[in-house]
Structure formats: C-alpha cells, structure tokens
Amino acid sequence: MCKISEIVQRARAAFNSGRTRSLQFRIQQLEGLRRMIKEREKDIAGALAADLHRNEWNAYQEEIVYSLEEVEYAIKKLPEWVLDEPTEKTAQTQQDECYIHSEPLGVALIIGTWNYPFTLTIQPMVGAIAAGNAVVIKPSEVSENMANLLATIIPQYLDKDLYPVINGGVSETTELLKERFDYILYTGSTGVGKIVMTAAAKHLTPVTLELGGKSPCYVDKDCDLDIACRRIAWGKFMNSGQTCVAPDYILCDPSIQNQIVEKLKKSVKEFYGEDVKKSRDYGRIVSSRHFQRVMGLIEGQKVAYGGTGDVATRYIAPTILTDVDPGSQVMQEEIFGPIMPIVCVRSLEEAIQFINQREKPLALYVFSQNDKVIKKMIAETSSGGVTANDVIIHLSVHSLPFGGVGNSGMGSYHGKHSFQTFSHRRACLVRSLLKEDPLKGRYPPSMAKMMRH
C-alpha cells in the first residue's frame, strides 16, 4: 500500500513544481484529453460493451459525446475563466484594486462510479485540470474493463506524474482515503459518500459528493401522455435503469395509471422490439450482486409488465409496477434498475407532500402543460435539479450546475461550475502606499477622535 502513498506524493511534488499554473499548460493537457477521447473512441466503446452491454451508438451518445463536449467547452472558455474578477468597492476602497483571483487547490482525488464509468470520471477531471490541479483518479472496480482501460490510456495522453490512475477495490480506496488531498469528488452511493466525508474530515478536505436517491416523476392529468411516457421510458430504461438521475418512480392520479402503463409498454416496444432481450440497445445489470438486489425489489409487487430476469446474462426486463404501497421495499431505496413503480396520488398538493416527506432527491421531473403546476412543483419541493416535460436533459447544459442536496449530495460541477469547484476563489485587495491622509482616522490614540465624534 506504500505505493499509493508514493503516487500521491509524486502528484503533489509535480503540482508544487508550479507547472500547472500556466494557462498554456492546462490547455495542452485538456487538448491531450480531447485527443484521447477521439483516438480511443472504439476502445472506450468496447470497455462499455464488456461492462454494461452498451452498443457503440449508446456508448457515444450516453458517455463519449458528453465528455468531448465538456473538454471542448473548457478549452474554449478557460482563457475567460482564469481572469481575475473585479468586485464592487466600498466607500473606503474606491482607490484600491479589489478582485477575486482563482487559484488551484492542489491535489484532487476523483473517485469514479461504475454506471457511467467513463464520463462520470472524465467530466469532473476536466474541471480539475482546467483549474490547475494535480488529479489522482480512482475508477470504480465494478466496471473492471473501463478501469483497466483508463489506467492504460490516460498516461499515454496526459502528464504521468500529475494525473495518475490508481486501480483496486475497497482496500485500495480505503488506503487512498488516508492520504491528504486538497479536494475530493466522489460519485456513488450515500452510504459510501458518508465514509468518504468522514475520511476527508480528518484532513479538513472539502468534498463534492454526487450521490443519488429516488428521483420522483409527477405526471399531470392534462399533459400529452404519449409524449410524456416516451420520454420517461427513454430515461428510465437507458443503461437498464442504472442512471443516478433516472426517474425512479411515477406519481399520478389513479384515473390515468392504466393509460401510463399502456403507453410506457408501447414506448418500450418501439425502442427495443417485442423481445427486449435481443435488442442491441438494451443494457445489462453490471454484476450478479446488483442483479439479485434489483430482482428482489419486484417480489410481492403487482407487476403490470415485465418482471422477468435471466441471472446468467444479468438481464432484467423493463418492468412496471402498479398500485405500489409507499411502504414497500421498492419505495425505500434507490432502484438503480429497470423497474418503474407507479404510486397513485389524488392531487398536485398530495404529490408535493409525498416528495417532501422523503429525502431530497438528485433530480425531480414534472410533466404538465400547465406552467403554474410546474412552477408550484419547483417552488414547493427541493432536489438537486429539475427538468420539466422531459428527463435527465438538465445534465447536458454546461451553464447549469449538476449536483445534489441533502441526502443526494453536496457541491456541483459541469462547465464553469467545475472550474469553480476545483478552485480557491481568493479575495484580493491591492492598495497604494501613497495617500495616507484618508487613513489617519483609523490609527490610535482614539480618545481625541471619540471626543470629536
């Protein structure tokens, strides 16, 4: 395990050399990352196919394109981001220079996750490099093929000392977390997030925790159910439901529950054909342990569609559950699989109450043609992010921060938010040594001044 300590120390020594400070160096490294994504696209797609049964198109659309857009956006905008930001002045500082200077924090640790093992590792890495940090990358061992690929290709395109990749399981991650970092960004479960935060606290290391939770999806009676269900089905069943911002469950009026079931079924058949198992577009559960957990959530439920699985291939059919009891196990944990429970509520107010009685989710979705319904849902609930009349898409907008709140996480990144997350925004005031007269009133002795006051 001493090797881990040596790698972190080497990264810190490389950072302390000062070579990440220049804009030119940062852009060179980001260009290397862009070249890696473009030149190794087939290798990346191959690892995603091996780990998650993704075809080449889905690998590109769901991971590669987001990473490429993130790095290209950072290359374009970084010359603006690094500029000092002038600030408002007080009456006493009109003659001074007041500004915020963004400086790198030092050595950052990025702990990736297995469900989108490329983009959820590379996207935060873009921000950390842009901000001028050294970055230790720890891919998830669950997506083994991607972890091995990242360890192979990142050193071929980026500075080996500044951006090392450390592979391994729980024991290696535990050792890694004993090291002192200047920032940690972790993507994964709430339980492990607490472990990461506890380890970070020993060094007073700030963290961004990208966790999860049960992201609700409220469907209003007045909306176009065909379009709504097509969009919901797309977001729910992509990557076999293993998406941290997937709609976890539907809230709707009992009068439209059966329509929603039929229209979700119709969309599933449009997307994946009559035999979903044969579809090249439908994924697989990442491991046998996760397969057993997800299948266990179906037990005792009223299955309106699907409900079957194949342990040998880790395939679970797109599944719809109706009249779900809010107290059942499937409503107690993030599903992270292709199961869509439908819970009936009789009003918008009841839906809002239902959401607010639970932990704050990473995302919230509302489908309605009534703008007042959408605004009320946003105003009276809390979540990491919101998309109205679609799902997941808020993640694709560079100017919107991606992050959780409460149990779904803390901190955020994407676009300039990533640069700011991995920077210290340093308050700077520069004053002349001339013009001393205006300052004389602040110096002792004070008695004579008090008399005059």
Q: Report the catalytic residues.
A: 210, 244
Amino acid at 288: S
- Cα separation, 347 vs 220, whole angstroms: 9
- Cα separation, 208 vs 7, whole angstroms: 22
Q: Could you say which DSSP state residue 182 is in?
A: S
User: Do 336 and 249 form a contact (C-beta atoms < 8 A)?
Assistant: no
DSSP string covering 345-413: -SSHHHHHHHHHTSPPPSEEEEE-S-HHHHHHHHHH---SEEEESSSSGGGG-TTS-B---GGGEE--B
Q: Is the omega angle on the peptide bond into residue 361 within 30 degrees of 0, that is, cis?
A: no
If one counts every other C-beta atom within 10 angstroms of the C-beta of residue 307, the result is 18
- Cα separation, 177 vs 34, whole angstroms: 29
What residues form DSSP beta bridges with 387?
Answer: 365
DSSP string covering 9-37: HHHHHHHHTTTTSSHHHHHHHHHHHHHHH
Q: Could you say which DSSP state residue 7 is in?
A: H
Strand order in 409-410's β-sheet? 134-138, 107-111, 183-187, 207-210, 409-410
DSSP string covering 291-316: HHHHHHTTTTS-EEE---EETTTTEE
